[in-house]
Amino acid sequence: MTNRTPIPQSIINDVNARTDLVDLVDQSGVKLVKSGREWMGLCPFHSERTPSFTVRPEKGFAHCFGCGAHETAIGYQMRVYGQTFIEAIKDLAWRAGVDLTDYVGRAEKPAHKPKPKIASRADEKDRETETNKRRLRGQALWKKGVAVEGTAAEEYLANYRGIDRGLFLQSPVHRFIPDYEFWYRARDAKKSEAIWTGPALLTVMQYIDDRFAACHITCIDLDQEKGRLKLTAPDDGRDLNTKRVMGDPSKAAMRLGKPAFVMVGGEGLETTYSGMMVSGHTGWCSYSLDNLVGACVMDAKGDRHPLDGRMRLPSVVPDMARPGMIWPRECRERIFLGDGDTKDMHMLKAKLERGSRRAHAEGCIGRVAMSAPGTDFNSMIRGAA
């Protein structure tokens, strides 16, 4: 091989821009459905049952909200077909009619048709086994936990978050582990490695029939102002989410309080406990906002974003077949908690509205309660303390 000029960024951009990303993803075997300005489907890079993989053709990338995959056309081609950068750009340039002669030799029709590796196409049985494995691992972790009294978890909830000890100290849903290992898999690494070991609050997530669903993990660092661990990815310096879930959390709840006629529901422990304290109601919580309110009908269009007419809000129409967290039967009035310091309040309100509508469709009352603008529920109670 002779030394060739490296491919300039402008050519790389050109190949990306001229590749129809929806087409590319579709041809690799991922079925996409249009939803507003984006397309959605099951992620090819991690195994899932509900779609969190989105393709944004006009932005030129695909993004997965489940595993964080974020790829341009060339990146997608590399990952899904296991190609090198040069192989991928050659194949795409050929299709898009971009001339790479000066950099990689004459464009030629790809000699072989590579086989895509699609995680979420694994058949139902494989997927079930995988979910089950994760659930068992979560259960093993949960079993290692000890009572939170006198641990960093008690200190975190009571002193750093201002949660009333009476609410959580005797609660069977929390445990503590002093040496949780935070595993991380770098972008190009074959294996994951433990990048942090330390104290964590464990919270059990249960299906509506009481069975163990998942273990929710909050990593604690009492040297931080809010007591939560801050961790950045060793390879690209991204902030990592130091709350994790091990198991099958999609329909499950963290049962922070006893079922009651009126209950609050929130995303995350701290918000929900704070909402319980502010309102005097009991509550359950979910591990994510999307799971708290459940999915929307996939092809339903959301309203135009009031601040940016080119954007659409998430649809408020619930897909009744994909409910997310199941509420207890005893609860006839669901109050969805929204933190007033959320970056995009309009997006948040649209999702909470979907939760409300789902409650109505199920014969319950659904309401939305927002904390004061610029504050979250937790700062309301910490301010009052």
Which residue stretch of 15-23, 56-64, 245-253, 258-266 sits at the interface with Zn ion (rule: CB under 5 A)?
Answer: 56-64
Task: Kindly state whether residue 64 participates in binding Zn ion, applying the rule CB under 5 A.
Answer: yes
DSSP β-ladder status, 365-370 and 333-338: parallel
Task: Kindly state whether residue 32 participates in binding Zn ion, applying the rule CB under 5 A.
Answer: no
Task: Kindly state whether residue 327 participates in binding Zn ion, applying the rule CB under 5 A.
Answer: no
Which of 43, 73, 263, 380 is close enough to bind Zn ion by CB under 5 A? Answer: 43
Task: Kindly state whether residue 66 participates in binding Zn ion, applying the rule CB under 5 A.
Answer: yes
Smallest distance from the beta carbon of 207 to Zn ion, in angstroms?
23
DSSP β-ladder status, 282-286 and 262-267: parallel
1: its two tokens = 């091989």
Which residue stretch of 45-53, 87-95, 314-322, 345-353 sits at the interface with Zn ion (rule: CB under 5 A)?
Answer: 45-53
The number of residues that bind Zn ion (CB under 5 A) is: 7
What residues contact residue 59 under an 8 Å CB cut-off, 6+ apart? none
Which of 7, 11, 67, 364 is close enough to bind Zn ion by CB under 5 A? Answer: 67
Smallest distance from the beta carbon of 234 to Zn ion, in angstroms?
21
Task: Kindly state whether residue 21 participates in binding Zn ion, applying the rule CB under 5 A.
Answer: no
341 and 297 Cβ atoms separated by less than 8 Å: no
Task: Kindly state whether residue 45 participates in binding Zn ion, applying the rule CB under 5 A.
Answer: yes
Q: Which is nearer to Zn ion, 66 or 340 (CB)?
A: 66
- Which whole-number Å values give the CA distances from 353 to 166, 304, 369, in the listed order? 31, 15, 11
Spatial distance between the Cα atoms of 44 and 46, rounded to a whole number of angstroms: 6
378 and 267 Cβ atoms separated by less than 8 Å: no
Q: Which is nearer to Zn ion, 52 or 218 (CB)?
A: 52
190: its two tokens = 């074959």
Q: Which is nearer to Zn ion, 69 or 219 (CB)?
A: 69
Which residue stretch of 67-75, 187-195, 211-219, 370-378 sits at the interface with Zn ion (rule: CB under 5 A)?
Answer: 67-75
Smallest distance from the beta carbon of 62 to Zn ion, in angstroms?
10
Which of 18, 37, 46, 137 is close enough to bind Zn ion by CB under 5 A? Answer: 46
DSSP 158-180: IIIT---HHHHTT-TTEEEEEEE
Spatial distance between the Cα atoms of 174 and 202, rounded to a whole number of angstroms: 6
Which of positions 91-120 make contact with Zn ion (CB under 5 A)? none
Q: Which is nearer to Zn ion, 66 or 178 (CB)?
A: 66
Spatial distance between the Cα atoms of 199 and 212, rounded to a whole number of angstroms: 22
In the chain, the N- to C-terminal Cα span, in Å, equals 70
Instruction: Report the interface residues with Zn ion, using CB under 5 A.
Output: 43, 45-46, 64, 66-67, 69
